[in-house]
A and B are shown apart, each in its own frame.
Chain A
Amino acid sequence: AQSVTQLDSQVPVFEEAPVELRCNYSSSVSVYLFWYVQYPNQGLQLLLKYLSGSTLVKGINGFEAEFNKSQTSFHLRKPSVHISDTAEYFCAVSHDTGFQKLVFGTGTRLLVSP
């Protein structure tokens, strides 16, 4: 069975500072990895995905993430955050076989203040 751990439930940061949101996963088979963002009272929007190939993936809104197979991690980073980045961020994993059931972490709330 797969699982996802997001160790930080909340990350406060000042505007224009860098940020890293941590994600670790466990799985006995190969996986695909995703980061989604959720704004209040909205659904989830895909930020970026890792399927194969280069371990550094770039997404929308200036976010990027690095897949580290040995550490089973997929941390999300942004070099300079904006107030508008305040939201809930979810890391998710799916198998590379069968149907694509996403298993989500519990989320990290990013709070950007001026």
Chain B
Amino acid sequence: DTGVSQNPRHKITKRGQNVTFRCDPISEHNRLYWYRQTLGQGPEFLTYFQNEAQLEKSRLLSDRFSAERPKGSFSTLEIQRTEQGDSAMYLCASSFGTATNQPQHFGDGTRLSIL
């Protein structure tokens, strides 16, 4: 069990640039989640995949945010035209099966800093 892997760990970019983060879930996990965590707050749900299907994306913060999970394996989260307010930790989590009580396993996150 290699755990959930997120890359890069840190991303510094200028306002207005596009950024993409990658998440590799635990290999047998079919569910994948993205959360955003700002300073002093708990993680906030963004979107969710079951296999390759994005079943919930209403919490994506704006149309500048998009996520994909081609082939139901790794996932990417893209932010276009970044703004100062996008600075945060972006966390990925995965879980196994379809039962709603399965615990989510988190990666170490990607910290985004907008200059």
Name A's B-contacting residues (CB within 8 A): 4, 32, 34, 36, 41-46, 49, 51, 90, 92, 94-107
Interface bracket on B: 20 to 34
The reply to whether B100 and A95 contact each other, CB–CB distance below 8 Å, is yes
Q: How many A-B residue contacts, CB cutoff 8 Å?
A: 68
The reply to whether A106 and B42 contact each other, CB–CB distance below 8 Å, is yes
- Minimum CB–CB distance for A89 against chain B, Å: 10
Name B's A-contacting residues (CB within 8 A): 4, 6, 31, 33, 35, 40-45, 48, 50, 55-56, 91, 93, 95, 100-109, 111
- Which residue of B33, B40, B42, B101 is within 8 Å of A51 (Cβ)? B101
- Which residue of B42, B56, B91 is within 8 Å of A92 (Cβ)? B42
The reply to whether A98 and B100 contact each other, CB–CB distance below 8 Å, is yes
- Chain B interface main SS type: strand
- Minimum CB–CB distance for B49 against chain A, Å: 10
The reply to whether B41 and A106 contact each other, CB–CB distance below 8 Å, is yes
10 contacts between A and B (CB under 8 A): A4-B42, A32-B100, A42-B109, A43-B91, A99-B50, A99-B100, A100-B31, A100-B100, A100-B101, A100-B102
The reply to whether B100 and A41 contact each other, CB–CB distance below 8 Å, is no
Given the complex, which residues of A lie within 8 Å of B108, measured CB to CB? 41-43
Nearest B-chain residue to A107, judged by Cβ: B42
Given the complex, which residues of B lie within 8 Å of A102, measured CB to CB? 33, 35, 43, 45, 104
Give me 9 other A-B pairs in contact (C-beta within 8 A), A43-B107, A46-B104 excluded. A4-B42, A34-B103, A43-B4, A51-B101, A90-B43, A100-B95, A100-B104, A101-B33, A107-B41
Given the complex, which residues of A lie within 8 Å of B44, measured CB to CB? 104
State A68–B100 Cα separation when bound (angstroms): 21
State A45–B101 Cα separation when bound (angstroms): 16
The reply to whether A45 and B106 contact each other, CB–CB distance below 8 Å, is yes
- Minimum CB–CB distance for A98 against chain B, Å: 7
